[in-house]
Structure 1
């Protein structure tokens, strides 16, 4: 995120990023940048002064999404009574951000560049640290099933659901998330196929490099 901006410049930047995120989700990442400026209520020149090209704007949207994920995880840990409720709150919030929808609309190579950006390393580490802490505690409390690993939560964070005609997106997503959460509890009876995805999978998914082994 840019530092040292005046208050009006910061406000315009935030409006542009919010409008871009909405339009990328609604129409895809090829939406005309003039439409982004209109949605943000700023001039096209203002948009291009902050973001010289589409890739710069996409990176800003990716950074803001990661920051919101980190904020969701840390707030959930701080405010919820235990790790299980914190995990549930975090996953509900992550799905509501529609991270999976945005990732699906990005060109795969551009998505990889955004994920691997060194300037986003600190934010990714915050997300990972919070998620790992919640998982470890929820498992120690005997609430989270043992055959679910950190990498599985990375998949759930990007959950994307097709909404059938006549049903609101929020209704469809909310129902699926609650079904998923019920299946994560330790008292769930049905075994899961395959092996749980571990911490390495979570780190690879968020493009955080592991230190070399000795």
Structure 2
């Protein structure tokens, strides 16, 4: 088991933990969650022993990175809702900012082991539910404003975003970033309220994607 995240850490221990999580986030996003722990320690600028004191196994590190990512996106969602003048603006801002969610989506999609870790963790489940509640409020608010098409729900937006963030083969990181940005722009354009192609079925809520 990893150290209890509720127990306060000394400044140097906290710094080491943050460095490890930041390095793992970057490496997992590029190479997947099966990268040797030694490489993560090297990228974080800490010794392997330090890494294993904070995260005794890969499962603990994957869980910590995912919790960190979902926490960041949840904070972004709440800030967007508070700071933006409309629910539509908040939704657009969240979709553009949510690069952090990219890694959590990738972890679940690219590794069966990581998927099981994320699926069963109660902290991640709570954060995911809180994020979907924030997204639901944005979607309903934007529909009340008349800016978001009325035949979608928060589950549709979440599923679209997850599909969009599937890692595709690309010639370069620049092309990958550009394709993601273009895809987000196309998705946002398709979510706007205006005459368009009728959608089959019914709007998907957050309970439909659990």
Instruction: Assess same fold via TM > 0.5.
Output: yes
Aligned to 1:103: 108
Check if 1:88 corresponds to 2:95.
no
Q: Distance in 2 between matches of 1:130 and 1:71?
A: 10
**Which residue of the other structure, out of 141, 145, 148, is the alignment partner of 1:137?**
141
Aligned to 2:152: 148
**Which residue of the other structure, out of 199, 203, 206, is the alignment partner of 1:199?**
206
Aligned to 1:168: 175
Check if 1:57 corresponds to 2:61.
yes
Check if 1:70 corresponds to 2:74.
yes
SS class of match (2:56):
coil
Rate the CA distance shift 1:4–1:95 in 2: closer, same or farther, 3 A.
Answer: closer
Aligned to 1:41: 45
Deviation (angstroms), 1:121: 4.4
Aligned to 1:210: none
TM-score, normalised relative to structure 2: 0.88
Rate the CA distance shift 1:119–1:165 in 2: closer, same or farther, 3 A.
Answer: closer
* CA RMSD of superposed structures (Å): 1.9
SS class of match (2:147):
coil
Deviation (angstroms), 1:146: 1.2
SS class of match (1:3):
coil
Select between 91-100 and 11-20 the one with higher mean Cα deviation. Answer: 91-100
- Unmatched segments (≥5 aa) in structure 2: none
**Which residue of the other structure, out of 10, 26, 29, is the alignment partner of 1:22?**
26
Q: Give the number of the structure whose residues are more often helix, by fraction.
A: 2
* Superposed CA offset, 1:14-50 (max 9, x none): 1101111111111121111000000000000000000
Rate the CA distance shift 1:105–1:172 in 2: closer, same or farther, 3 A.
Answer: same
TM-score, normalised relative to structure 1: 0.86
Deviation (angstroms), 1:191: 2.1
Q: Which runs of 4+ in 1 moved over 4 A?
A: none
